Every structure is written in C-alpha cells, then in structure tokens.
Amino acid sequence: MNRSPVSFRDFVRAKQSLVEAFVDGGETYAMLTGETGTGKTALLRELRSQLDRGRHRVLYFSAARKLGAAGLIKVAGEALRVRTSMCHSVSLDRLLRALAEESHTILLWLDEAQDLPSETLAEVRALAESDLDGSRRIQVLLVGLPRLRVELQAQPHLWRRIVVREEISGLAIDELQAFLDHHFEAGQNKRLCERGLTALFERAGGAPGRLLPMYRAVLRRAGSAKGKIEPEHVEDALERWELA
C-alpha cells in the first residue's frame, strides 16, 4: 500500500526554514544536505506543494552532476519558452532578457549538487546575481549529501552568500513507532519490542528511506509467525538484508 510520507520533527524544522528563506525572506541561496534516505526528496515535494504557483515557478534538476553549463541554460530557456541558439552566449543573453520580464520568481533546485561541475555552478551564480535592481528573480536551492557543505566551503565567494544552510538527519528514536504505525497495517506495525526497535533504528540511522525496506525485510523473515519478533531475529534479518 502506498502512503504519504509522515512528517518528523527534523523534517518539519528544515521545511519551515526553507519556506521562510524563499517565501518570507526572499533569500537568493539556500542549501539542504542529508545522507541518502533522510527525506530530502520528500521535503522538496512538500515544499513545492506549499508554494504559491501564481508567484513561484520551480525548475528542478534531479541529477545535477550530469548538468553542464550549456545544458542548464538550454533547459531553463526551454522552460521559459526562450528560443535557444547554437551559440551559448546568445542563449544566455536571451534567457537573461526573458528573466527580466518574468512575473514569477524562478526557483532553481539542483539535486545531487555535491557533484555539480564548477562551470555549471558558476553559471548558476551568474543567473542568480544577474539583476542589478535586486529583485531576486532567481532563487537557488542546492541539495545534496553532507559533503556538499565541504564543496561549497571551498568556494568562499559563494559560501558566504548562502545564509540558509539546513541539514536533515532523519527521525529521532521516539518517533519510530509512530512512523511504523503510519506505514504498516495494524498487526504488522507493532511487531518489535523496545530492543528490536532500537536495533532497527540504529541500523537505519534514523533514515526513513532505510527504515521502510529494513522493516519489510524483518517482516518477511518472520514469515507467517504471529506476535512479537524476537530481537535476535531482527538483528539476523537486518544483517542478511545489508549483505544482500
């Protein structure tokens, strides 16, 4: 059964910070980092759903490491119905002129940004800072693994401009049972004792994207047996899951 993601405290905090940055604060740059599975993509979906589409337009790039500078300008131009050219500088000029006339604020979201080519990042900055009137027609959200922070710190001219720097770490252990209750049917959601829950949480590091497949693996390992699953069986199932 497909269920909507459940919000947890760290998720809510990071989302609110980004809403305030883009909607209320009008920040040009923001950063969101987190390990794989901590909920970054789910957070972006939630954030997008809360934006006023009459004011904001999101351009989302899911695999920034594959995005060259020319590709960025081409895709952004096509999204804004700008006629691109074989000449990169001509396409860039046309895009900048279109942005100057754009009524929406363009939100440029770059996922996997820790692998973003340096020339593409430079082009992003050129777009974001192209308006001399300070209208901030482009706002940039850089999303990636924790090493994105290190990559950006190596570029102090950009790092100091990123005022909002959020990191999402996942659930706290006291939120785990509610998370399982949300995603699993009654009878399957409370199969673990406190020791089993702790083992599951520690193996997954609190990351929702790891907790779900890990718990499913524990349930499959238990088979048709009913009742609580012994902590030793939980550990064994998780060990086998990680080796698979």
Would you mind telling me the total number of residues written for the chain in this entry? 244
134 plus 46 within the same structural domain:
yes
Report the mean per-residue pLDDT for the chain: 89
Is 92 found in the same domain as 40? yes
pTM value is: 0.88
Q: Which of 167, 189, 206 is the last residue of a domain?
A: 167
Q: Is residue 136 part of a domain?
A: yes
Domain that holds residue 195: 173-243
Would the pLDDT of 110 be above 90? yes
pLDDT at 95 over 90: no
- Which of 103, 135, 167 marks a domain boundary? 167
Question: Average pLDDT for residues 78-91, to the nearest whole number?
Answer: 83
Instruction: Let me know if residue 158 belongs to a domain.
Output: yes
Instruction: For residue 169, report the phi and psi dihedrals to the nearest 5 degrees.
Output: -110, -15
Single residue among 117, 139, 167 that ends a domain in this structure: 167
Question: Does one domain contain both 39 and 104?
Answer: yes
Q: Is residue 3 part of a domain?
A: no
More confident site: 85 or 132: 85
Q: Among the ranges 47-51, 196-200, 239-243, which has the highest mean pLDDT value?
A: 196-200
40 and 84 share a domain? yes
User: Are residues 162 and 177 both part of a single domain?
Assistant: no
CATH code of residue 200: 1.10.8
Percent of the chain topping pLDDT 90: 58
Q: Mean pLDDT, to the nearest integer, of 174-196?
A: 94
CATH of the domain at 102: 3.40.50.300
Residue 2 lies in a domain: no
In terms of domains, do 123 and 140 share one? yes
Would you state the pLDDT for residue 183? Answer: 92
Give exposure, 116-148, as e/b (b: 16+ Cβ within 10 Å). Answer: bbeebbebbbebbeeeeeeeebbbbbbbbbeeb
Residue 67 placed within a domain:
yes
Q: Note whether residue 102 is domain-resident.
A: yes
Nearest to 69 by CA among 136, 118, 128: 118
Are 145 and 219 within one domain?
A: no
Q: Are residues 107 and 21 in the same domain?
A: yes
Residue 59 sits in the same domain as residue 102 = yes
Domain annotation covers residue 1: no
